[in-house]
Amino acid sequence: MRILLSNDDGYLAPGIKTLFAALQAWQGQREVVMVAPDRNRSAASNSLTLENPLRIQQVAPNIYSVNGTPTDCVHLGINGAIDFQADMVISGINAGANMGDDVLYSGTVAAATEGRFLGKPAIAISLCGEHHFDSAAHWLIPILEQLERVPMEASTILNINVPDRPLEAIRGVRVTRLGRRHQSEPVVCDRDPRGLPIYWIGPAGDAADNAEGTDFHAVAQGYVSVTPLQIDLTHHRMLEHLQTWLTPL
């Protein structure tokens, strides 16, 4: 298995470094190539850079940085910018959870999504904190081994969230659905040195739907959360109603 590894925190982030090392230690017959942003591009979602040229720089053996988004990185990594034929895409380990509504904004999930769009099995993995990246890397390996034994349906992206705990304090793994967050906190207003207002996007809201069965619930209980994602935004239940609603036209 040849793995393309990316993230949204940048190629120097501790999460991707931990995972790159863990995958190299595990790989055996497998090969791992990292193509990741040259800086933190968290919350970049699925953006592609179309107005500026992209540059790719090899910074170490099998490690490339790109002056673009996570989606750019996976796009370049798979579509011919480097001499590597990836079999799958892994994104992470993100510093911070990607649960519930987060997945719409997440660059971590977006990198996996791009892999999926380009025909590769894809996994996004996030640590719900910034300390125990080793725990997340440790739990990913058996999931990869299972994926090698039994491939996933082609349209599926696995979104994994790992509690920020030492390995021995993680209780197991749970299959989950996405929960939901409350609206994010208000924007934070400040003044620049010339007295003009500047704004910071406020922090994400707390969990609004953290019922049993959600990613929020599993992580709070100390379990690794694995959510199967699909990219079909069609509101299927509304199709018939909309047809009726539009009939007068």
Closer to Mn ion by CB, 1 or 103: give it: 103
Closer to Mn ion by CB, 119 or 202: give it: 202
Cβ atoms within 10 Å of 249's Cβ, excluding its own = 4
Q: Which of 121, 45, 127 is nearest to 89 (CA)?
A: 121
CA distances from 38 to 6, 57, 71, 175, 225 (A): 11, 9, 13, 33, 29
The least CB distance from residue 81 to Mn ion, in Å, is 22
The least CB distance from residue 105 to Mn ion, in Å, is 10
Q: Report the C-alpha dihedral over residues 75, 78, 83, 87, rounded to 10 degrees.
A: 150
Closer to Mn ion by CB, 1 or 136: give it: 136
Closer to Mn ion by CB, 8 or 33: give it: 8
Closer to Mn ion by CB, 40 or 62: give it: 40
Q: Which of 153, 157, 145 is nearest to 111 (CA)?
A: 157
The least CB distance from residue 131 to Mn ion, in Å, is 15
The least CB distance from residue 240 to Mn ion, in Å, is 39
The least CB distance from residue 64 to Mn ion, in Å, is 18
Exposure string for 5-41, b = 16+ CB within 10 A, e = fewer: bbbbbbbebebbbbbbebbeeeeeeebbbbbbbbeeb
Residues that bind Mn ion (CB under 5 A): 8-9, 42, 94
| Mode of pairing for the β-strands spanning 180-181 and 207-209 | antiparallel
Three-state SS sequence of 11-53: CCCHHHHHHHHHHHHHCCCCEEEEEEECCCCCCCCCCCCCCCC
The least CB distance from residue 91 to Mn ion, in Å, is 10
Closer to Mn ion by CB, 91 or 227: give it: 91
The least CB distance from residue 172 to Mn ion, in Å, is 25
**Residue 193 C-alpha from the chain's centroid:** 36
Closer to Mn ion by CB, 18 or 42: give it: 42
The residue sitting closest to Mn ion, measured at its beta carbon, is 42
